[in-house]
Structure 1
Amino acid sequence: MSEQSLDDLKVFVMVAREGNFTRAAAQLGVSPSAVSQTMRALEEKLGVRLLTRTTRSVTRTEAGEKLLREVAPLLDEITAHLSAVSDLRERPAGSVRITADEYAARYVLWPKLLPVIESYPEITVELITDYGLTDIVAERFDAGVRVGGIVASDMIAMPIAPAMRMVTVASPRYLARYSVPVKPQELTEHRCINLRLPTHGGLYAWEFDSPEGEFRVRVDGPLILNSVIQILDACVAGVGIAQLPDGLVKEHIENGKLQEVLPAWSEPFAGYHLYYPNRRQQTAAFKVVLNALREP
């Protein structure tokens, strides 16, 4: 095979990742027919089919899977190096993609990212909220946010927020009607508000500490939501008991709208960390965001 152009390989990677010619064309800024022609030419030069096309979808063949797995990281690395070279100009520019859960995005990241957006008009920050443990390399994120500093060996973890607690709360109206639980196990007899996690669609199991160690309690109740903000609203309204980050409920506890229960079973743990690949070339734009998020 003759040396293949980077542009053709970029087209293949985009189609393989999007699973759709039209979406890939939109990302590349070309027509779907141009993408289709490039893919046919690439397959002819390689002498192997890379994609299986149907009227509704595009899937990767075994050869396509192998090529994507081996070529995509190299192209991402080349793009990062080219960005680093362009960063030698005066003002940082480019995009930075971050994935985080809803609470971290709103209360940890946003206050620190707002000055970046205002001070660096040529930097674009894309913030995607997700409660799942996202594979940031596969999903092409520059960084992710999760609680605690435990990450894979090929990642760097940087603290961006202080230690936190998950606190169990309810409205005074609810507690006056249903009584105050004195042990975590009693929550199984209460109306609790559950959080639906995207990973496997499971419900979040409430976590507690005891002299014997950590343990979890699976609760039940009249409402299941996939947003901690919605859970907070429902809890304040008296729907049931909830378990939420302390920073989210602090103001509501202080003004009497919520009351913490079971405080003896809630211990601080490592707060939010930003994690990112340790071997990826950092662009100037990413360095600006990194410095802004760093916990003082």
Structure 2
Amino acid sequence: MRRDYFGDLAAFAAVADERSFTRAAAQLGLSVAALSRTIQALEDRLGAPLLTRTTRSVALTPAGERLRSLGPDLDALEEKLSGLAGADEEIAGKVRIAAPRHATTALWPALNRLLADHPGIELDLLPPGDEADATVRLGEQVERGIAAIRIGPDLRMALVASPGFLAARQLPATPHELADYPAIVWRDAPLWQLERSTIRPAARLTVADPELALRAALDGVGFAYLFEDLAAPHIAAGRLTRVRREWSASVPGYHLHHARGVASPALTAVVDALRFHPERDNVRRLTLDSGARRPAA
């Protein structure tokens, strides 16, 4: 069995059982697009279609029915494989993760549990851009040879500025007018999604971490489009003003990106610990809304 078959077969089994790519993707912690590519790759390797897809349903082909009938054999193989790392072979090793501080703060509960469960694992949390075994980024960035695993929910955003900055300016009437105002831009999110519009703000300052964007907004450098949970305490305290609340949208949540292939047991444990499951609290909630201050008109 090729090294990537087992995970692909598990993905196929989830779709076959759920009869839905959306429900199976949520169960596996993947995006629908990533799951669809996995199934397509499996069908290409086997040389036969496994599923018939319509806009309303997913059904098994005859080849898919035969493959799904192997389920008990696959379960037995998984059980045998999981027994290879027994109590006498504790998972150990160092895993380097490059991530914005905002992401590592949100993921800390899951990382803390991982460290408690696996005393032999060492984590090295690095800033974005550093060489690492895995990188945390917003959304699923499709690259050849790279796996992307969803590790958090979509994130609510808030358009904000300091009261001093706004005092000397008229508020923009439309999202596109923001292109005429100085802005603070996070390098990983250079485009702003506002009221079904995508704009490229006039970047007076470009930063490598969203928390630096917060600091610059507090200092009156310009408009910032921040994660709602970062902005909420400062909005409540009056240090920032939320502008045009109705324009704000959500952005794709954090994903963990790492090279496909044979992952170390330690990296596999990290992936399993961080994989997002909508039905349980895997990460600290990132959709806070202070409600303490009405948005500026």
Same fold (TM over 0.5): yes
**TM-score calculated relative to the size of structure 2:** 0.55
Unpaired runs of 5+ in structure 2?
1-82, 281-297
Distance 1:281 1:209, change over 3 A: same
Computing the radius of gyration from Cα coordinates, the structure with the larger value is 1
- Matched with 1:241 is 223
Unpaired runs of 5+ in structure 1?
1-83, 198-203
SS in 1 for 2:172: coil
- Matched with 1:176 is 167
Q: 1:215 aligns with which of 194, 198, 207?
A: 198
Asked if 1:127 is matched to 2:133, the reply is no
Q: Cα distance, 1:273 vs. partner? A: 1.3
- Matched with 1:91 is 90
RMSD (CA atoms): 3.1
Conserved 8 A contact 1:206-1:219 = no
Conserved 8 A contact 2:184-2:222 = yes
Paired-residue identity, %: 33
After TM superposition, the structure 1 stretch with the greater mean CA deviation from structure 2, 91-100 or 273-282, is 273-282
Q: Cα distance, 1:162 vs. partner? A: 0.8
Conserved 8 A contact 1:92-1:123 = yes
Distance 1:194 1:163, change over 3 A: closer
- Matched with 1:7 is none
Conserved 8 A contact 1:183-1:262 = no
Asked if 1:108 is matched to 2:106, the reply is yes
Q: How does 1:50-199 map to 2 (within 5 A)?
A: 89-105=88-104, 107-130=105-128, 132=129, 139=131, 141-152=132-143, 154-195=145-186
Query: How many pairs align?
Result: 195
Output the CA distance in 2 between the equivalents of 1:254 and 1:125: 35
Distance 1:143 1:118, change over 3 A: same
SS in 2 for 1:116: helix
SS in 1 for 2:258: strand
Distance 1:229 1:281, change over 3 A: closer
After TM superposition, the structure 1 stretch with the greater mean CA deviation from structure 2, 183-192 or 162-171, is 183-192
Q: Cα distance, 1:163 vs. partner? A: 0.7
Conserved 8 A contact 1:157-1:275 = yes
